[in-house]
Structure 1
Amino acid sequence: MKFVQISKHIYRLTYETVVGIPVKINTWYVVDGEDVYIIDTGMEEYAHIQLKAAKSLGVPKSILLTHGHLDHINGAKYLRAELNIPIYSHKNELPFINGKIPYPNKVEKETTGVEHQVEAFQDSVINTLPLDVYETPGHAPGHVIYHHKDDNVLITGDLFISDAKTLHPPIKKFTINMEENINSGRVIDDIKPSILSSSHGEDVKYNDKLYTIYKFTYE
Structure 2
Amino acid sequence: MNNLELQKCILGPVYTNCYFLKNKVTGEMIIIDPADCPEKIEQKVMQMDGKPVAILLTHGHFDHITAVEAVKEKYHIPVYACRQEEEMLREPVMNMTCHYEKSCSIVPDVFLDDLDVFRTAGFSIQIIHTPGHTKGSCCYYLKDEGVLFSGDTLFCGSVGRTDFPGGSASDIVRSLHKLLDSLPEETEVYPGHDVSTTIGYEKRYNPFV
Q: What interval of TM-score do these two structures reach, taking the shorter chain for normalisation? A: 0.7 to 0.9
Q: Which residue of 1 aligns with 2:192?
A: 199
Q: How many residues align?
A: 197
Contact 2:12 2:63 in 1 (8 A): no
* 1:1-219 map, 5 Å: 9-15=4-10, 17-19=12-14, 24-32=15-23, 33-43=26-36, 46-55=37-46, 56-99=48-91, 102=94, 113-121=104-112, 126-129=117-120, 130=123, 131-162=125-156, 167-174=157-164, 176-186=167-177, 187-192=179-184, 193-207=186-200, 210-211=202-203, 213-214=205-206, 217-218=207-208
Corresponding letter in the other structure for 1:196? V
TM-score (norm 2): 0.80
1:157 shift after superposition: 0.7
1:101, distance to aligned residue in structure 2 (A): 6.9
Gaps of 5+ in 1: 1-5
CA distance in 2, matches of 1:92, 1:112: 21
Q: Distance in 1 between matches of 2:113 and 2:208?
A: 34
Change (3 A) 1:172 1:96: closer
- Unaligned runs of 5+ residues in structure 2 are none
The offset of 1:72, in angstroms, is 0.8
Distance 1:134 1:172 in 2: 18
Distance 1:75 1:210 in 2: 31
Percent of matched pairs sharing the same residue = 19
In 1, Cα distance between equivalents of 2:126 and 2:135 = 19
Q: Deviations over 1:49-85 (max 9, x none)?
A: 1122234342110101001111111110210121111
Question: What's the CA shift string for 1:173-213, capped at 9, x where partnerless?
Answer: 33700211121012133112431111111111332x62354
1:14-46 CA distance string (max 9 Å, x none): 326534xxxx31111222322111111112xx2
Judged with a 3 Å threshold, the aligned counterparts in structure 2 of structure 1 residues 27 and 48 are, in CA distance, closer, same or farther, namely same
Question: Distance in 1 between the 2:147 and 2:65 partners?
Answer: 22
Indicate the SS of the match to 1:146: strand
Q: 2:42 and 2:28 mapped to 1: Cα distance? A: 14
Q: Which amino acid aligns with 1:206?
A: I
Q: Secondary structure at the match of 2:163?
A: helix
Could you say what the CA RMSD is over the residues aligned between the two structures, in angstroms? Answer: 2.9
User: Contact (CA 8 Å) 1:87, 1:118: kept in 2 or not?
Assistant: yes
Give, in whole Å, the separation in 1 of the partners of 2:141 and 2:108.
25
